[in-house]
Each structure stands twice: as structure tokens, then as C-alpha cells.
């Protein structure tokens, strides 16, 4: 049995540690600016996990749309509302205890479920090393257009793609309308 380090495993534990530590940092930080920064690092590390699982296109999309788009939007929100009294708001001790208790119960249930399934234990090393590197961008694009080149018996996602596209358009128009700058009525009249 080969006992040298299998580097994907090492990288997995590295990215998993960064991801989880900064996710916990988001919960424990009281300063909203620090929370935003920790969230950026946590989501960027999770894109590393996507690359390790063979999802190169989704990992790139995670970095571009999520970290590069959504979180920049969130940071703009933080900057627009960062009066000194809102930068760090305290939560009562009772709320913290209750939330931590519920969270730990949820975590225990989820982790015990994750460890209970024998098929989820992972491949043998020789089997994992024999796998090639799949190209995912073309099958994903064809799947979104309704033709599955990777698994012909499965259905395509053209309708879902259309719905999501129109939904995104409507949502962005609505968001631009909601967040527009208010004009004073008197200046508008004259």
C-alpha cells in the first residue's frame, strides 16, 4: 500500500480548515466589516473545494459571481450603512446560548448522518489516481441548453435555465427600482 502523501487529500483538509474557520469567524465576529472579510475568505476557500471535487467550471463561477459579484454588493451595503453605532451590535447572552445550543444539536445530527453511509467513505487510492480529468464546461453548457451529452437518459435543464434567466432580469430591475435615490418632492416640482 502506498503511504506517501496523496496531495489532493492534503489540499482538501487545508481548504476545509480555512473554509470552516472563517465561517465560524463570521458567526463569532461582532464587527460587520470583519464579518464581510471573513465571508470572502470562507467562500474563496470553498471554491478550492469545488476544484478538488472536479467541478472546475463551477469553482470558477463561484469565484467570479459569488466572491467577485455578490460579496462586493454586500460590502457596498456594509459601507453604505456603516454608521458607528451599527458597526458592532451586541446580541444578548440568552440569545447566544439558545442559538449555540440549537446549532450544536443540528451539527451533531448532520455529522452523524454524514458518517453513517458506507458508500460515502471514498474511493481506493489506485482507483482515484486512475481517473482522468473531465472537462465540465461543455457538458454543463449543453445541459443548460437541454441536451445531456454526459448522461443521455437524464433530462436537460432548458426550462429551468429560462426561468432563472427571466427571474434574474426581473429581480435586478426590481432591485434597481427599490434602491433608487429618492428625489425631494419640492425640487422635482420646481
Partner 1 sequence: MITLPLANFLAQPVGVSQFVIVGAIMFTCGAVCMATKRNALGILMGIELVLNGANINFIAFGSPYLRSDAGSLGMDGQLMSLFVIVLAAAEAAVALAIALNFYNNFNSIDVDRANQLKG
User: Per CB under 8 A, does 44 bind partner 1?
Assistant: no
CB of residue 79 to partner 1, shortest distance in Å? 10
Nearest residue to 33 via CA among 66, 80, 69, 92: 80
Binds partner 1 (CB under 8 A): choice among 53, 145, 158, 159:
53
User: Per CB under 8 A, does 150 bind partner 1?
Assistant: yes
Size of residue set near partner 1 by CB under 8 A: 97
Distance CA 43, CA 157 (A): 26
Q: How many CA atoms lie within 13 A of 28 on its CB side?
A: 6
Distance CA 113, CA 117 (A): 7
Answer positive or negative: Cα dihedral of 116, 119, 123, 124.
positive
Q: CB-wise, 1 or 189, nearer to partner 1?
A: 1
User: Per CB under 8 A, does 140 bind partner 1?
Assistant: yes
What is the pattern of x (binds partner 1, CB under 8 A) and - over residues 165-184?
A: --xx--xx-xxx-xx--x--
Answer positive or negative: Cα dihedral of 159, 160, 161, 163.
positive
The footprint of partner 1 on residues 13-42 (CB under 8 A) is 13, 16, 19-20, 23-24, 26-27, 32, 35-36, 39, 42
Distance CA 69, CA 158 (A): 24
Q: CB-wise, 49 or 188, nearer to partner 1?
A: 49
User: Per CB under 8 A, does 110 bind partner 1?
Assistant: yes
User: Per CB under 8 A, does 69 bind partner 1?
Assistant: yes
CB of residue 189 to partner 1, shortest distance in Å? 21
Torsion, Cα of 11, 20, 46, 74 (10° steps): -150
User: Per CB under 8 A, does 103 bind partner 1?
Assistant: yes
Binds partner 1 (CB under 8 A): choice among 80, 84, 188, 189:
80
DSSP 145: T
User: Per CB under 8 A, does 152 bind partner 1?
Assistant: no
Q: CB-wise, 180 or 186, nearer to partner 1?
A: 180
Contact between 71 and 40 under an 8 Å Cβ cutoff? The reply is: yes
Amino acid at each position: 500500500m502506498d503511504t506517501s502523501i496523496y496531495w489532493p487529500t492534503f489540499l482538501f483538509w487545508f481548504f476545509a480548515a480555512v473554509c470552516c474557520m472563517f465561517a465560524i469567524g463570521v458567526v463569532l465576529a461582532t464587527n460587520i466589516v470583519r464579518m464581510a472579510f471573513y465571508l470572502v475568505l470562507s467562500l474563496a476557500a470553498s471554491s478550492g473545494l469545488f476544484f478538488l471535487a472536479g467541478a472546475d467550471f463551477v469553482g470558477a463561477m463561484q469565484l467570479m459571481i459569488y466572491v467577485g459579484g455578490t460579496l462586493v454588493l454586500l460590502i457596498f451595503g456594509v459601507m453604505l450603512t456603516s454608521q458607528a453605532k451599527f458597526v458592532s451590535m451586541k446580541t444578548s447572552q440568552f440569545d447566544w446560548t439558545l442559538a449555540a445550543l440549537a446549532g450544536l444539536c443540528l451539527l451533531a445530527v448532520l455529522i452523524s448522518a454524514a458518517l453513517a453511509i458506507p458508500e460515502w467513505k471514498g474511493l481506493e487510492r489506485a482507483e482515484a489516481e486512475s481517473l482522468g480529468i473531465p472537462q465540465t464546461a461543455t457538458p454543463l453548457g449543453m445541459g443548460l441548453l437541454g441536451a445531456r451529452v454526459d448522461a443521455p437518459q437524464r433530462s436537460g435543464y432548458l426550462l429551468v435555465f429560462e426561468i432563472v434567466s427571466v427571474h434574474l432580469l426581473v429581480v435586478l430591475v426590481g432591485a434597481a427600482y427599490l434602491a433608487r435615490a429618492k428625489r425631494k418632492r419640492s425640487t422635482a416640482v420646481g
